[in-house]
Amino acid sequence: MSKFKKNHQFHMERLEDRRLMAGDIEAFFGAPGTLFIREAAGHVGGEQSVQVSLLENGKVRVQGVTTPSNPQGSKVNGSHDPVEFQVSGFMNLDVNLGSGRDLVHVIGLGSQQQNFSRVGNLKIDVASPTDNPNDADLVLVDKATVLGKLDVITGSGRDIVRVDNSFVGNEMTIRAGTANSATTDVDDVLVNGVRVDRSLLITTGENNDVVSVKNMNLPRGDQGGHITIDTGNGADVINVGSVPVVVPVGVQPPVFGPVTAAGGLHVKAGTDAQNDIDNVRIADAFFDQHIVVELGNGNDNLEMVNAFAKKSISLAGQSGDDTMNVREVEALDGFFASMGAGNDLLNMTFVKSQRMTLDGGAGTNDRLSRGQNPGIPSETITGWETINGMPVLQPKQISPKINVNGLPTLQPR
């Protein structure tokens, strides 16, 4: 990545600059089989930037790199020269840099990694212990093979997390936020081209966040195989599966692969206590269990295209004037949409299921549009003022909301 250049040059610097700008780190083996990367004494809270490379010769290289906030680059064990460790078999990697605008880049060898040094558990913690809103961190994990757990913690601030083209043999957790609503916490998380053998959890806390998950496979249903995304309060953008791209006429658009999982999907874009606009898109997504989406309060938007669940799909608009566009979707067991309070719009095209409940909620202008839908053996439609452009004359009835408990379904009354 050209933006972050290696720096091997020796230079002198004033003591004040070292404290405020050029953070130093220590890399050492501590507990059996664990490589620790920590802030050096006198540099706690500094602007740290480090790259960890897994090499073909079975070694691990740790070196400082430059960033705009750390133009001189971090020293490793007192030097700008790279430090290499010989690793035989497996190791755990534990990075903890705390406060400051930190960069951590872990780069592996992709599919070749299994033939060389391999990581058991990988933990990267760059969170400010005091929820400093200026603690903007960048975490990159690329082509890594992690046989155990991958855990990323960035805490408060405008953080960016990218995990690309990697393998995780256990759980993968990204916690890129804080529950403190008074702290600026705008996060951007991308998981692309990753296989996870257990489950994926992404949380981003308060404020306006962006989360994208694409080209992903969770094949082990016996180990969970679930994807859970919780963006908390704020105007969030969540993409699961293919992302729409605008390209010039005549140009072939890029292909973004689907998301497949042996478990279920649970997207929580907020609660009824908030009031913001969330945008959720689920496209080319296939799950062996349930799909559950909660939009929270606010005028939210949901687009679901080419999605499949072997069990049920449950969509909860909650409060606000919500819009849901659902096209080419199938749930083998049941499809349930509860729009909640507000004047809502539900557009459905070719939605297939054995059972279906469509509840317009407590608004005064709830609209349902259905087209090209196959026959549904059992369906309940209630709470709408307009269906396919025609007024509904019967008294409005309100059916119960979705009861979210794990990965649930809405049961008609």
The answer as to whether 243 is a domain residue is no
d(Cα 21, Cα 101) in Å, to the nearest integer?
A: 10
The answer as to whether 215 is a domain residue is no
Same domain membership, residue 169 and residue 33: yes
Lowest mean pLDDT: which of 77-91, 207-221, 234-248, 352-366?
Answer: 234-248
221 — phi, psi (to 5°)?
Answer: -65, -30
Give the CA-trace dihedral at 50, 17, 128, 231, to 10 degrees.
-70
Q: For the segment 368-399, what is each residue's pLDDT rounded down to a tens digit?
A: 999 887 889 999 999 999 999 999 876 444 44
Same domain membership, residue 312 and residue 169: no
- Where does residue 59 fall: left (phi above 0), alpha (psi -120 to 50 degrees), or beta otherwise? beta
The answer as to whether 226 is a domain residue is no
Same domain membership, residue 166 and residue 34: yes
Amino acid 293: pLDDT: 97
How many residues are listed for the chain in this entry? 413
d(Cα 200, Cα 193) in Å, to the nearest integer?
A: 13
- Where does residue 250 fall: left (phi above 0), alpha (psi -120 to 50 degrees), or beta otherwise? left
d(Cα 154, Cα 141) in Å, to the nearest integer?
A: 14
Mean per-residue pLDDT, 203-210: 88
Q: Place 404 in a pLDDT band, splitting at 50, 70 and 90.
A: very low
CA distance readout (Å), 110 to 82, 95, 146, 220, 312: 22, 21, 10, 20, 35
Mean per-residue pLDDT, 275-302: 94
Same domain membership, residue 292 and residue 169: no
**Average pLDDT taken over every residue of the chain:** 83
Calculate what percentage of the chain has a pLDDT beyond 70: 83
Where is mean pLDDT largest: 16-20, 273-277, 400-404? Answer: 273-277
Same domain membership, residue 279 and residue 168: no
Residue 17: pLDDT over 70: no
Amino acid 256: pLDDT: 65
Same domain membership, residue 168 and residue 32: yes
Q: Place 348 in a pLDDT band, splitting at 50, 70 and 90.
A: very high
Do the beta carbons of residue 44 and residue 29 sit within 8 Å? no
Record the tokens describing residue 8, joined without a space: 């091997």
Same domain membership, residue 173 and residue 304: no
Residue 322: pLDDT over 90: yes
Same domain membership, residue 282 and residue 141: no
Any bridge partners for residue 65, and if so which?
6
The answer as to whether 183 is a domain residue is no
The answer as to whether 201 is a domain residue is no
Mean per-residue pLDDT, 176-195: 79
3 state SS of 316: strand
Lowest mean pLDDT: which of 125-139, 261-275, 294-308?
Answer: 125-139
The answer as to whether 105 is a domain residue is yes
Domain of 95? 1-10+19-148+160-177
Q: For the segment 71-126, what is each residue's pLDDT rounded down to a tens digit?
A: 888 889 988 899 999 887 788 999 999 877 889 999 998 754 454 557 899 999 99
How many structural domains does the chain have? 2
Same domain membership, residue 277 and residue 166: no
Amino acid 271: pLDDT: 81
Calculate what percentage of the chain has a pLDDT beyond 90: 56
Mean per-residue pLDDT, 247-271: 81
Q: Place 181 in a pLDDT band, splitting at 50, 70 and 90.
A: low
User: Considering the entire predicted model, what is its pTM?
Assistant: 0.86
Amino acid 243: pLDDT: 75
Residue 347: pLDDT over 90: yes
CA distance readout (Å), 9 to 14, 102, 160, 178, 376: 16, 21, 28, 38, 70
Same domain membership, residue 167 and residue 49: yes
